[in-house]
Structure 1
Amino acid sequence: MAKQASNLSGLLVVNKPKKMTSFGVVARLRRISGQKKIGHAGTLDPNVDGVLVVALGKATKLIDLLQTRPKTYRGTVTFGYATESQDADGAVVEEKPLTEALDEDKLQAAFSALEGDIVQVPPIYSAVKVNGKRLYEYARAGEEVTLPKRSATIYRFRPSSRLRWVEGKPYQSIDFEATVSKGTYIRTLAYDLGQSLGLPATMTKLTRTSGSGFDLSEATDLDDLMALTEESIVRKVKPIASVLTYERKDLTDEEYFAVKNGQKIQSWAKNNDGFYQLYYHNQLIAVYAYSEDEQLWRSRYFFA
């Protein structure tokens, strides 16, 4: 992508490869685009692949909105050992070899019991901040820290395969699918699944299959994206309007002047959404949100 394209605003749906950080993906896209305003909507650990939505230009204003949307995953949990990071990258901290196959009915019940609103304690090797410092920084420095509790919602957590023995190991694995809220640690979900069965467990594989309203089928492999021509990359950029689901309102000249200057508006009736996406001459200008306290509309995002 040429430097003159650096004023693009929109979203790129990337299939992040394993062994790369989400920041690394953004850094590569920043270099080829010359785009200073760029960010991603939801971190993926280096050993996790799948959907990473990258916002360019004015679309970065929507990152907070995009992160609130449910995410879906498919992965594998292995029973019989646990690691310090709760995934396959960490050192083993507990082992309980299996002497017989797990009961599949009990396992199904354990999956179901974790659906709904739950509280998680993230692993010490995670990016959660405590007193301005990330947990993994405490771990690497050998410092003690109280692990925080985090609320999460598990909309769906189901097995997607039969149990199988791990070749050459006294462990069993099963594949799963999960749909979860912002802030959910899937590796902690896998670990907690084992705890409910009285077993150590580790998430041994994970792919994000959708996030921020985009599916893996819409994502482009990072290497393929880097090899595209400027024109082809531009065609991959999804417009800001494609992720807005609010009711549309077309502005009059007078309303456009008010919105352009960030003025509050009292004359519009409240709608069911509590939001309007505002257009002027068929161009997306802004999103306004209704304030219950003030009984008026005020600017939430401005794009023009």
Structure 2
Amino acid sequence: MAKQTSNLTGLLVVNKPKGMTSFGVVARLRRISGQKKIGHAGTLDPNVDGVLVVALGKATKLIDLLQTVPKTYQGTVTFGYATESQDSDGAVVEEKPLVKDLDPVALKAAFKSLEGDIIQIPPIYSAVKVNGKRLYEYARANEPVELPQREATIYEFAPTSALEWLPDQPYQRIDFDAVVSKGTYVRTLAYDLGQKMGLPATMTKLTRTAGSGFSIEQATPLDELMELDEAGIAAKLKPIADVLPYERKDLTEEEFTWVKNGRKISSWPKTEQGFYQLYFEDQLVAVYRYNEEEALWRSRYFFL
């Protein structure tokens, strides 16, 4: 039986297996860690594996920050058919068997055309909410709904292999790397790539290789984490400071008292980033953010 309470604070970099939801990963880690305050940064679909950063304790305050860091993926897109979910989990809704090799020059240009700031329309089988209901709930109930548009930034989207035919099937596939912003649907990116080529397309494989500032080389497989006790989990935790990209400021005793009381501060010089991570006696205390309108510093995160 799991402990009822735990004081664990930090970040677990998990290598999520296929076949499990991100919520399921968090639920398992909550049981073995005993930490009720736990959450993840950046949902992975069940059929996607790779980096899932889980925050425990006071680190949960940083989930919004963690999700702003670009994510990196390696995947495969297959041309010639499309599914209702735009990945291999969904039923096929369109087919256009290929009769000849795709033009690799045109395909490379199609990849490049999807880089930058784009608008995506997520698939009906997704967790995007419309009027308080997730899109997949509308789909399962066969209820009509207008699919929303979502902004995304694609920093890199490029092929990493040659085109190849699927064995005994009229479809071609190619591997790719993608570096994308928060909220990007990579399966929709694969589908849109097919549209650029005038073909239905489906994302047939995907691994997140980096997320929230951590790489897959830093991740521990979930099954290994499940073998650990609380002390073992504690040893795997990354400290909060590892993900703070801000200038450090060491506080005097007087300043520490101000910060503990949530006081606004006008005497500190403005930084280029507009943030300070604050330490007292070598312990991370808080993050302060500069408010331009008020011309003073205000508390953004407090960790004590």
Question: Would the TM-score normalized by the shorter structure come out above 0.5?
Answer: yes
Q: How far does residue 4 in structure 1 lie from its aligned partner after superposition?
A: 8.4
Are the aligned partners of 1:84 and 1:90 in contact in 2 as well (CA < 8 Å)?
yes
SS in 2 for 1:6: coil
Q: Distance in 1 between matches of 2:79 and 2:55?
A: 38
8 Å Cα contact 1:114/1:154 also seen in 2? yes
Q: Residues of 2 paired with 1:2 and 1:10: CA distance? A: 19
Corresponding residue for 2:256?
256
Match of residue 152 from structure 1: 152
Alignment correspondent of 2:172: 172
TM-score scaled by length of structure 1: 0.98
Which residue of structure 1 aligns with residue 299 of structure 2? Answer: 299
Tell me, yes or no, if the aligned pair for 2:33 and 2:229 is still in contact at 8 Å: no
CA contact (8 A) 1:2 1:230 kept: no
CA distance in 2, matches of 1:54, 1:126: 22
For the residue of structure 2 that corresponds to 1:254, the secondary structure is: helix
Q: What corresponds to 2:89 in structure 1?
A: 89
Q: Which residue of 1 aligns with 2:196?
A: 196
- Give structure 1 stretches of 5+ with no counterpart: none
Partner of 2:238: 238
Structure 2 SS opposite 1:227: coil
Which stretch has the larger CA shift, 46-55 or 251-260?
251-260
Specify the code of the residue in structure 2 equivalent to 1:83: T
Task: Tell me the percent identity.
Answer: 76
Query: For 1:231 and 1:98, how far apart are their aligned partners in 2?
Result: 55
Is structure 2 residue 121 aligned with structure 1 residue 107? Answer: no
Distance 1:38 1:230 in 2: 14
Alignment-mate amino acid for residue 131 of structure 1: N
Question: Distance between the aligned counterparts of 1:243 and 1:20, measured in 2?
Answer: 26
- Residue in 2 aligned with 1:71? 71
Residue-pair matches, total: 304
Cα displacement (A) at 1:233: 2.0
Q: How does 1:1-304 map to 2 (within 5 A)?
A: 3=3, 6-304=6-304
Q: Distance in 2 between matches of 1:265 and 1:193?
A: 50
> CA offsets, 1:43-69, max 9 Å, x none?
000000000000000000000000000
Cα distance in 2 between the residues matched to 1:34 and 1:228: 12
The one-letter amino acid paired with 2:200 is P
What is the alpha-carbon distance in structure 1 between the residues aligned to residue 101 and residue 68 of structure 2?
A: 39
Shift in Å at residue 5 of structure 1? 7.6
In structure 2, what is the Cα distance between the partners aligned to 1:192 and 1:4? 47
Q: CA deviation at 1:229?
A: 4.0
Q: Is the 8 A contact 2:78 2:172 kept in 1?
A: yes
Q: CA RMSD in A?
A: 1.2
> Gaps (5+ residues) in structure 2?
none
Deviation at 1:228, TM superposition (A): 2.4
